[in-house]
Amino acid sequence: MSVPPRPSALLAAPLLVLALLLAGCSSGPAPEKAPVGAPGQGAAGPESDDAASARRAPSGPAAAPSPTPSPAAIPGLGPETLAAIPAEARQAFVVTGEEADANQSSAVLYSRQDPAKGWQPVAGPWNAHNGMEGWTDHHVAGDLRSPTGVYTLTDAGGRLPDPGALLPYDEQPRFAVDGEGFFGEPLEGSFDYVVAINYNRTDGVSPLDRTRPLGLERGGGIWIHVDHGGPTQGCVSIPEDRMRELLRTLDPVMKPVIVMGDAESLGR
């Protein structure tokens, strides 16, 4: 008469099969595993996080993903104007005129440090003046209008010593100016600090350089300079303390530009 197998014998075969399945087919040492509970590995290995999430997932429709916010654009600038800002530019000094024929404007400095966040205001708004007759998209010498558009800013200078400018700064007594403005205000000190706007000029040289690539008839010497309390011949002017602040902030590494024009033009 046969003797029934003992319970321990009945369990031995399944345990042996299970051990072989867990060991895999490799005859070499098992690959090194991340510690149990390591980040991204779950509690039992690299595939357990997904499995555990699947077990915990509630039934029914999946939750909609949170919308990703769009990078901030510069307020008031339309698609054409934004497209004209070079991709490498990470500072934009935006000067917005009240109207096409107005000579008062507002200036705000924007920075694009983090592409994911887009443009962020870092200084301003500041009161500013522009050309006596307003703005134009085809500036010519003597029209008393400021040229609209996007222009790089690469060079600075002035009659006074360098206040800590990051752009190359040319200190020259030739920046002295006298006389009166359109409303009888004194012009003295207007060029104590200037930043050349690269309209019809060669970049990388002193603002005093008179090279005019578009020809003399298209005007030139368009600067950001110290405000004298009235409209300009075609430049942009801001208060002296703001001018010093701007010089200490515009950074050639960030490829700064000026975006300038009346509100309607900039909104296109």
- Clarify whether 225 is annotated catalytic: yes
Q: What is the pTM of this model?
A: 0.74
Of 129, 139, 228, 235, which one is the catalytic site residue? 235
Residue 158: pLDDT over 50: yes
Say which DSSP state 27 is in.
-
pLDDT for residue 152? 98
Residue 261's pLDDT band (boundaries 50, 70, 90)?
Answer: very high
Residue 52: pLDDT over 50: no
The CATH number of 91-266 is which of 2.40.440.10, 3.30.1130.10, 3.90.79.10, 3.40.1670.10? 2.40.440.10
- Clarify whether 25 is annotated catalytic: no
User: DSSP letters along 167-185, please?
Assistant: S-EEE-GGG---SB-TTS-
pLDDT for residue 10? 35
pLDDT for residue 242? 98
SS3 257: strand
pLDDT for residue 64? 52
CA distances from 140 to 76, 175, 211, 250, 259 (A): 26, 23, 15, 28, 19
d(CA 175, CA 120): 33
Residue 5's pLDDT band (boundaries 50, 70, 90)?
Answer: very low
Residue 145's pLDDT band (boundaries 50, 70, 90)?
Answer: very high
d(CA 25, CA 41): 23
